[in-house]
Amino acid sequence: MTGNKAVAYKGPGKVELIDIDYPTFELKDGPGVNPANVGRAVNHGVILKTVATNICGSDQHMVRGRTTAPPDLVLGHEITGEVVEVGRDVEFIKVGDLCSVPFNIACGRCRNCKERKTGICLNVNPDRPGSAYGYVDMGGWVGGQANYVLVPYADWNLLKFPDKDRAMEKILDLAMLSDIFPTGFHGAVSAGVGVGSTVYIAGAGPVGLAAATSAHLLGAAVVIVGDLNEDRLARARSFGCETVDLTKGGPAEQIEQILGVPEVDCGVDAVGFEARGHGHGKDAEEAPATVLNSLMDITAAGGALGIPGLYVTGDPGGVDEAAKKGALSLSLGTGWAKSLSFTTGQCPVMKYNRQLMMAILNDKVHIAKNVNAKAITLEEAPQGYAEFDAGAATKYVLNPNGYLS
């Protein structure tokens, strides 16, 4: 039997490399696996040898103990891999194919999948619509921060790269197609970004930088990124963004200095539920609705907010009882008065990943450079998690099997 090591959540602030079983075409019992999914046959799946698997800010929420994730949950929903085994019912994906895996697990058969709403598939998670690898309350599909991983409904889910050698030349860029690039793009699209738009993006982490990259790709005239972290703001400036340093106050005044008016056409929340207040640097207190309320203030009437930042229904570390249930003090009256539109939820990756792949392969965008992607070994994952949590302006890409130079 081939060995398989994986990165697992062990408790608040702690991840470890552990030994796990090599995947089979059946979902077995384990940490976080929904009992209704135990024993589920996956003859429509494939086993991938992992080429790249990224550390995500969404993983960090679990690692910080801010979700109900159980110990020993194998992490990792941003997966790129080479097919090494195919299930009995797989028709079109072949052994040797190099593929990107959307972080949403989708069946391709339900009403929502047929409507391209793959982030809320009805058939893969018995608890609720929507599923993902290695994530709390998502059905228990084993994460991909490992040597090998099972991907169900492979003919539907996998995006095969058309030329393996050409793909390997741009593999760090293509590794961003599993989540953050489509997620950032979805945030920009759902905010209404187009040619000539002015855009404010809250958060200069990898998703925020991906949203900024996407806004440029969509033709925005001015892209402004706000954050409390100067190193991350410097990344945004490196590819042509304006920046707002939130240690120096709220965004409106600084936006006015850039644009001449204190508002933008489009707003993107790339922060989520662990947002902090303005003006206090690293000591800023957590204020979960800060970003959403400030975006409503600075987005022009009739505009839209794209909200790819993660919000949860269970947060043991919430600042109050309401926040622990995902209930935030949202100024909905502001949004109503200004006729603002909101789009929340998982990005339906399949809606965008092929187009973004073509943009990468044809040198229209350099997402890995913009997010400062850095390959590290599986053994270095705990250090990568710690550095990312401390605010490193880096997108850590795990290299479990030595494919990445």
Residue 181 — pLDDT band, cuts 50, 70, 90?
Answer: very high
Q: Which long-range contacts (CB under 8 A, 24 or more apart) does 237-240 make?
A: 238/370, 239/212, 239/213, 239/366, 239/369, 239/370, 240/216
Q: What is the pTM of this model?
A: 0.95
| pLDDT exceeds cutoff 60 at 149 | yes
Q: CA-CA distance, 75 to 290, in Å (whole number)?
A: 29
Q: How confident is the model at residue 283 (pLDDT cuts 50, 70, 90)?
A: low
pLDDT of 3: 86
Angle CA 55–61–62, to nearest 5: 85
Q: Which residue has the higher pLDDT, 67 or 361?
A: 361
Domain with CATH 3.40.50.720 in the chain: 180-344
d(CA 258, CA 121): 42
Position 311 pLDDT exceeds 90: no
Mean pLDDT of the chain: 94
For residue 324, name the pLDDT band (cuts at 50, 70, 90).
Answer: confident
pLDDT at 314 over 80: no
Instruction: Encode pLDDT of 341-397 as tens digits.
Output: 999 999 999 999 999 999 999 999 999 999 999 999 999 999 999 999 999 999 999
CB-side neighbour CA atoms (13 Å) of 157: 29
Mean pLDDT score, 85-93:
98
Phi, psi of 295 (to 5 degrees): -65, -40
The residue-averaged pLDDT of 26-52 equals 96
> Which residue blocks in 35-81 are alpha helix, DSSP H?
57-63
Please state, in angstroms and rounded to a whole number, the distance separating the CA atoms of residues 350 and 119. 9
Distance CA 95, CA 82 (A): 8
Dmax of the chain from CA atoms?
A: 64
**Amino acid 312: pLDDT:** 80
What is the spatial distance between Cα 286 and Cα 283, in angstroms, rounded to a whole number?
9
pLDDT per position as a tens digit, 158-180: 999 999 999 999 999 999 999 99
Q: Where are the beta strands (DSSP E) in 30-151?
A: 40-41, 46-54, 73-74, 79-86, 98-101, 148-151
pLDDT, average across residues 142-168 = 98
Residue from 87, 88, 100 nearest 50 by CA: 100
User: 249 or 273, which is more confident?
Assistant: 249
Is pLDDT of 39 > 90?
A: yes
Q: What is the pLDDT of residue 282?
A: 55
Name the residue with higher pLDDT: 52 or 68: 52
Q: What is the mean pLDDT of residues 64-92?
A: 96
**Which helix (H) or strand (E) element contains residue 305?**
strand 299-307
Q: Place 317 in a pLDDT band, splitting at 50, 70 and 90.
A: confident
Kind plus residue range of the DSSP H or E element containing 211: helix 206-217
Neighbours of 208 (CB within 10 A): 30
Within 13 Å, how many C-alpha atoms sit on residue 252's CB side? 9
State the DSSP string of 4-54: -EEEEEEETTEEEEEE-PPP-SEE---TT--GGGTTEE-TT-EEEEEEEEE
pLDDT score, position 131: 96
Instruction: List Cβ<8 Å contacts ≥24 apart for 193-197.
Output: 193/218, 193/219, 193/220, 193/265, 193/266, 194/218, 194/219, 194/220, 195/219, 195/220, 195/221, 196/220, 196/221, 197/221, 197/265, 197/266
CB atoms within 10 A of CB 89: 14
pLDDT class of 140 with cuts at 50, 70, 90? very high
Domain 5-179+348-398 top-level CATH class: alpha beta
- Tell me, what's the pLDDT at 397? 98
- Model confidence pLDDT, tens digit, residues 245-268: 999 999 999 999 999 999 999 999
Fold topology of 180-344: Rossmann fold (3.40.50)
- For the chain, percent of residues with pLDDT exceeding 90: 87
- Report the pLDDT averaged over residues 309-318: 82
Best CA proximity match to 298, nearest among 259, 245, 327: 259
Cα separation of 395 and 229, whole Å? 15
Mean pLDDT of 113-127: 97
CA angle, 75 as apex, 70 and 81 as ends, to 5°?
A: 155
Percent of all residues in the chain with a pLDDT value above 70, rounded to a whole number: 98
Contact 220, 337 (CB under 8 A): no
DSSP single-letter state for residue 91: -
Q: What is the reported pLDDT for 278?
A: 60
pLDDT in tens, 182-229: 999 999 999 999 999 999 999 999 999 999 999 999 999 999 999 999
Query: Where in the chain do CATH 3.90.180.10 domains reside?
Result: 5-179+348-398
